Amino acid sequence: LACTMPESPGAFQKFYGLIYPCNVTEFSYRYHRADAPADVIVAFQPQTDQFMDRLAAHGYAPRDITDDELVNTHLRHLNGGRSEFVGDERIFRFEFPEAPGALKNFLAHFETDAFNCSLFHYRNYGHDFGRVLVGVQATTDRAERKLNDFLEKLGYRYTEETHNPTYVQFLTSQRCLKR
C-alpha cells in the first residue's frame, strides 16, 4: 500500500495499531517535514478490504500498489531519501527477530514523548531475523539518555551508523549532523 501518515510523534504506533495483528512484511518511511504528511509504503498479510477501509476511515488514504511495476521495481527502495529537517538524527541498523510481535515490542518500548522516529525501513527476506534501519531524533540531553536506555532495554542487536559516510552522503544534509 501507499498511504500518507501524519508527521507527528506516535503516528507510527497509531498506524500499526490499526493493522495489528497483521504480519508487516515491508515498511518504508522517511521524515520529510513537520508541516506535511509522510508518504509511507507498507505491505502486510493478510491485506484485506477490512484493513483498507479501517485505514481510510482514520485518514491514511491507502492506495493498493500491488500491481504498480514502478513501485515494485524501484520506488519502494527510494522512498524518502535525503532530508534537511532531521537535525540530531541518529541512525541504527537493528536485527529484529522474525517472529510475530517483534515490531509491536519495538514500538511498545519506543518513547514518543522523548524522541521521534525519522526513518524506518524494513523488508522481510525470510531470514531468522529482519534487518531494520531506524532513524531517531533525540533533541535534548534527556532524550539522548532515554534513547540510550531504550537501546539497552530493547534487547535487539543493533549497530549505530550515524557516522557512516554513505549514510551522511545519501540520507542527510551534512549541516544537519550534530556529531
The whole-number pLDDT of residue 30 equals 84
The whole-number pLDDT of residue 82 equals 65
User: What's the whole-model pTM score?
Assistant: 0.77
C-alpha cell recorded at residue 61:
488514504
28 contacts 76 by C-beta, under 8 angstroms: yes
Q: Tell me what the mean pLDDT of segment 56-84 comes to.
A: 79
pLDDT value at 59 more than 80: yes
Nearest CA to 14 out of 34, 40, 35, 47 is that of: 40
- Cα 110–chain centre separation: 12
C-alpha cell recorded at residue 12:
507510527
Per-residue pLDDT band at 177 (split at 50, 70, 90): very low
pLDDT tens for each residue of 2-12 = 999 998 888 99
Percent share of the chain, pLDDT over 70: 91
pLDDT value at 176 more than 50: no
**8-state DSSP, 139:** -
Q: What is the CA radius of gyration of the chain?
A: 16
The whole-number pLDDT of residue 80 equals 65
165 vs 19, 28, 52, 89, 94, CA distance in Å?
36, 21, 39, 14, 18
- Pairs from 141-145 (Cβ < 8 Å, separation ≥ 24): 142/114, 143/114, 143/115
The whole-number pLDDT of residue 78 equals 60
CATH 3.30.70.260 for the 89-176 domain, yes or no: yes
C-alpha cell recorded at residue 59:
485518514
